Amino acid sequence: MSSHSESGKLNSLFIKKASAAFIGDAHITKHWEALNYLGKPNIDKALAEYDAFEKILIDNGAQVFYFPEDDSVNMDSIYCRDAAIATSKGMIICNMGKEGRRNEPLSQQKAYEAAGIPVLGVIQAPGTIEGGDVAWLDAKTLAVGHTYRTNEEGIKQVSALLKPLGVEVISVPMPHYRGSSDVFHLMSVLSPVADNIAVVYSPLIPIVFRNELIKRGFELVEVPEVEFDSMGCNVLALAPRTCLMVKGNPITKSRLEAAGCKVIEYEGAEISVKGGGGPTCLTRPVSRD
């Protein structure tokens, strides 16, 4: 088992159920606009979507742990990848770049400790880093997007924590795109789905990094512009070449299938599209086979 992979068979992970994050209509009404959601999630539809999403994870053999409801965090805690990074020596607890999510890392740390999962380190201010900016390219290489949510100091601290493990950190300077209020992570434009296959949205990938992926032998499955906002690029590997993605991205789906991948889709209008978080965002993998 390894934690240094985005595409090995998903062995164990944490999730935050919609019932524990969205809680109810009153909670959604209070928070969705301030958190820059595209629209107000419908609680009943969100709960149904999430139950179906959770079932896919379980049916594919993953051991699922749950983050509990916590009054110190808000709706965005459903996108639980962002508050921590998994390593072979334990979790790195992030320091969030989005002010409204600052309490999530400590909330997750308590859950990891309660489950007996070690903590390798904690990112300290002024460093910021979010898990959506972090992607394992192989067991010894971690790519980290330098974004509005992840700063140079945060990348420096992660590098220091991983150096004793023999891990190289590649810093990827990301474009301004829609500005500091938008959800734009490295994994908005990159999803490794096998050791040698990555789903990418090339228009927003730095040329140097795209060339690095090609040099490392990745086949790039290109997401068309028309499917970028519907999160065609946000794909979770349940196992090598077994992909989970939001319904509504038929071109990307067909390109994945042409690359030899099996594609499973889920309805994500409420739990994914409105909050800008696809299946990678909704999960915090801990270990993969």
Number of domains in the chain: 1
Q: Which of 182, 245, 186 has its CA nearest to residue 212?
A: 186
* Residue 183 pLDDT: 80
DSSP 8-state code for residue 94: P
Task: Please check the confidence at residue 19 and state whether its pLDDT lies above 90.
Answer: yes
Q: Which pLDDT band holds residue 181 (cuts at 50, 70, 90)?
A: confident
The pTM (predicted TM-score) of the whole model is 0.96
Residue 154 lies in a domain: no
Residue 153 lies in a domain: no
Q: Read off the CATH number of the domain in which 230 is found.
A: 3.75.10.10
Residue 169 lies in a domain: no
Calpha distance 73→83 (Å, rounded): 11
Residue 49 lies in a domain: yes
Calpha distance 25→71 (Å, rounded): 15
Let me know if 164 is exposed, middle or buried by CB neighbors in 10 A (0-12, 13-18, 19+). Answer: exposed
Residue 279 lies in a domain: yes
Q: Which pLDDT band holds residue 1 (cuts at 50, 70, 90)?
A: confident
Task: Tell me the Ramachandran region of residue 191: left when phi exceeds 0, alpha when psi lies from -120 to 50, beta otherwise.
Answer: beta
Residue 194 lies in a domain: yes
Residue 177 lies in a domain: no
* Residue 16 pLDDT: 98
Q: How far is CA 133 from each of CA 147, 277, 280, rounded to the nearest angstrom?
A: 8, 13, 11
Range of the domain at 238: 10-123+188-288
Residue 162 lies in a domain: no
Task: Please check the confidence at residue 174 and state whether its pLDDT lies above 90.
Answer: yes
Q: What is the pLDDT of residues 213-269, one digit of tens each?
A: 999 999 999 999 999 999 999 999 999 999 999 999 999 999 999 999 999 999 999
